[in-house]
Amino acid sequence: MERTFAIIKPDAFAAGHAGQILSRIYSEGFKIVGLKKLYLSKVEAEGFYAVHSARPFFGELTDFMSSGPCVVMALEAENAISKWRDLMGATNPADAAEGTLRKEFGTSIGENATHGSDAPETAAFELGYFFNGLELL
Ligand code: RTP
Ligand code: MG
């Protein structure tokens, strides 16, 4: 079993899509090991996305991620990292396959409904950024 870190981003939460996304998470066979609603500050969003700090979209991305509440989750499944990224679909909803979350709920490359860790090392960092060990028992 593997764990990954996922976010229902502020666009999807504000649009009332959290329930449908959670329902899809269950039906695809993930176990939700941790879950909380947070309203990130700009500084917290910058810390989370520090790997992207040199990218031209960093300011826009961290403004967006601190623009409203989101839901952060620890998901468990076999090959959870790639399984969750497959379910999310391509970063740009315009390129995302039919049936993926970003295709259904994303509206632009920036406001793309969900986040998922891209490797075991980033999953470990991201899970630890938002959850302590006791919260994931
Ligand atoms: P994420 O980290 O959120 O799961 O998304 P990802 O791996 O598919 O994409 P990544 O390259 O890591 O980019 C992180 C987030 O930054 C925003 N973005 N905006 N304006 C742009 O060109 C642009 N490119 C990326 C998106 O919100 C993306 O999910
Ligand atoms: Mg990424």
Mark the residues whose beta carbon lies below 5 A from ion ligand 2.
118
Answer positive or negative: Cα dihedral of 27, 61, 2, 129.
negative
- Give the CATH class of 2-132: alpha beta
Q: 9: annotated binding-site residue?
A: yes
Q: What is the pLDDT of residue 108?
A: 98
Q: Across residues 46-52, what is the average pLDDT?
A: 97
Residue nearest to atom 29 of ligand 1 (CA): 91
Ligand nearest to the CA of 85: 1
List, for residues 74-112, the tens digit of each pLDDT value. 999 999 999 999 999 999 999 999 999 999 999 999 999
| Domain layout of the chain by residue ranges | 2-132
C-alpha 136 chain-centroid distance: 17
Provide, rounded to the nearest whole percent, the portion of the chain with pLDDT above 70: 100
Per the structure block, which two tokens stand in for 80?
A: 């959870």
Instruction: Please say if 52 is a catalytic residue.
Output: no
The model's pTM is 0.97
